[in-house]
Structure 1
Amino acid sequence: MTNVTSAMVYRFHVWIRQISPMIWRRLLVRSDSTIADLHYTLQIAFGWSDAHLNLFHIHGQDYGVYHDGGTSFSTDPEHVRLCDFNFRINEHLLYEYDFGDCWQHEVRIEACLALDDKRTYPCCIGGKRRAPPEGCGGAMAFMTRRDEVPSHVEDLLEDIQDDLDANDIEAIRDRREDIEALREWLTLDDFDRREVNRRLKQYATRDAAWMWQ
C-alpha cells in the first residue's frame, strides 16, 4: 500500500446476500488501498480460502484478481485504488466470490474517516457469524443444510447411544467422520475478530504468514 498523506479511511459494512440471519463484517480500509488489497481483506475477514474466482462490480465495470483459467480484467487490480472511485457515503458495490456457489457480498460505504496513527489498516471492527463452508452449494443450499443440522445431531447421538448400549466400541469409532463433518456446521455462530485482525495485520505488514497454505 502506498503512503499518501491525503489518504482517508473507508468504513465498510459488508454482508453476504440472501442469507438470514446476516453474516457480516465491518471493516476499516485505507482509501489508497487497491482493488487487490480489498479482495484479500474480504477473503481474510470472511475466512474464505481464495481458491475460487472473484470479481468486484463497481460503477458498471468489473474488477478483480486474476486466477488461472478465470476471467481476465481490463485493469491491473494492483494499480486501481479505492480513492479512484470517489465513493459517496451510502454507496454500494458488489463483490462476488466462487462463481459456482455465487457468494455475493454487498459492500456499503458507511463513512469516510481520518487516519488514526494508532491503528493498522485494514482492520475489522465488528462482525457476526462465520462464512458458510466453501463448496456447500450457495446461499439456499447453505441455509437448508444449516437448518437440518439439529436433526442430524439428534440422529447421530441416538446411533452412538445404541452403540454404547451394545458396547460396540468399533462402531463408535466409525462415527468419527460423521462427527467431524458436523463440527464445522455446529460452530457457524462463532466469529473470532481477534484472529481476523491478526491475519489482517500480517497482510498489512506483508508478513507471508497471512497466506493460505
Structure 2
Amino acid sequence: MIYQFKVTLKDVEMPVWRRLQVEGETSFLEFHYILMAAFDWMGYSLYEFDLRKSGGKRLNGTRIGPEEGTPMIESDPLLLMLRQRLSNPEDYDLPRYLAGEKEKLSDWFKQDKDRVIYTYDFRDDWEHEIFLEKKLDPDPESQYPLCTKAKNDAPFEGARRDLMSGQLDLTNPNGKEIAEDINETYRFDGWKDEFLSRNDFM
C-alpha cells in the first residue's frame, strides 16, 4: 500500500510543503532520509517523530527517533543534555524513544488525517507537520518514494537566524522543478549515502 502525505514545514512565514508518496512498510528511519531529501537537509543534526494522531485517536508523548545509545558529540552541551534525557527519560518525565529502524509507517499511520510532527535540528527547530492524506494502490508505472508536488524552497541547513532576520527568501514558483529534483535524488543509487551521519564527525 502507498501512503500519500502532505508534509508542511512550519513557522517559515510562507507555504513550504511537499506531497510525498511512500510505501507503507517504510521504516521511520528510512522516512527520515526521504524527508531530508525532500527538504534539502544534510543530516548534521538530530531528529524525532512526535506522534500526534494514530487511528483517529490523539496521542501524547509517543516519540520515534534514533535508537538509544546513538553516538553524539561529547563537546556539545545541548547534545549532552539530550543524551542524558534519552538515556534516563524517567528522570525528566519523558517517554523513551521508539527506535526508528524498527517502527514502520503502517504501524502508526492507520487512517486518513493521522498526523505526526517531524523535528529536524533541535537548535533551529525545523518542525514539519506530516499529514496522511490517503492510501493508494501502487502504480506499476511509478517508483517510490515519489514527490508529486512541491511548494517553495526549504531553508538551508542552519538558516533559522537568516530566516528570522528577513535575509532569506524561500519563494520559488517552479514547484514542478523542485519535485523533479527531489525525485532525481530518490532514483540515484545509494542516495542515502549522500547525507551526513553523526558518526562521520565523532
Give me the TM-score of the superposition, normalised by structure 2: 0.72
Distance 1:127 1:97 in 2: 19
Correspondence for 1:37: 30
Shift of 1:136: 2.0
Partner-residue secondary structure (3-state), 1:43: helix
User: Which of the residues 107, 111, 118 maps onto 2:130?
Assistant: 107
Distance 2:169 2:163 in 1: 13
User: Which of the residues 146, 158, 161 maps onto 1:123?
Assistant: 146
Distance 1:44 1:103 in 2: 14
Shift of 1:133: 2.1
Opposite residue 122 of structure 2, the aligned amino acid is F
Correspondence for 1:166: none
The structure with the greater share of residues assigned to helix is: 1
Distance 1:102 1:143 in 2: 13
User: Which of the residues 184, 190, 196 maps onto 1:198?
Assistant: 184
Structure 1 gaps of 5+ residues are 1-7, 147-184
Task: Note if contact 2:47-2:66 (Cα within 8 Å) is conserved in structure 1.
Answer: yes
Distance 1:91 1:76 in 2: 20
Q: Which of the pair has the greater relative contact order for Cα pairs under 8 Å at 6+ separation? A: 2
Pair 1:68-2:91 in alignment: no
Shift of 1:144: 3.3
Pair 1:208-2:194 in alignment: no
Task: Note if contact 1:55-1:62 (Cα within 8 Å) is conserved in structure 2.
Answer: yes
Task: Note if contact 1:131-1:188 (Cα within 8 Å) is conserved in structure 2.
Answer: no
Partner-residue secondary structure (3-state), 2:187: helix
Larger radius of gyration, structure 1 or 2? 1
Distance 1:86 1:132 in 2: 27
List aligned pairs for 1:76-91, cutoff 5 A.
76-91=99-114
Alignment root-mean-square deviation, CA: 2.2
**Higher mean C-alpha displacement, 125-134 vs 74-83:** 74-83
The structure with the greater share of residues assigned to strand is: 2
Shift of 1:83: 0.8
Distance 2:39 2:164 in 1: 17
Shift of 1:68: 2.6
Q: How many residues align?
A: 162
Pair 1:145-2:163 in alignment: no
> Percent identity, aligned pairs only?
27
Task: Note if contact 1:132-1:188 (Cα within 8 Å) is conserved in structure 2.
Answer: no
Partner-residue secondary structure (3-state), 2:132: strand
Partner-residue secondary structure (3-state), 1:124: strand
Shift of 1:209: 4.3
| CA deviation vs aligned residue, 1:14-43 (integer Å, no higher than 9, x gap) | 111122321000000110111011101100
**Higher mean C-alpha displacement, 50-59 vs 71-80:** 71-80
Structure 2 gaps of 5+ residues are 52-58, 73-78, 87-95, 197-202
Task: Note if contact 2:27-2:101 (Cα within 8 Å) is conserved in structure 1.
Answer: yes
Shift of 1:195: 1.4
| CA deviation vs aligned residue, 1:48-102 (integer Å, no higher than 9, x gap) | 1111110001143111235532555643322211111142201211000000000
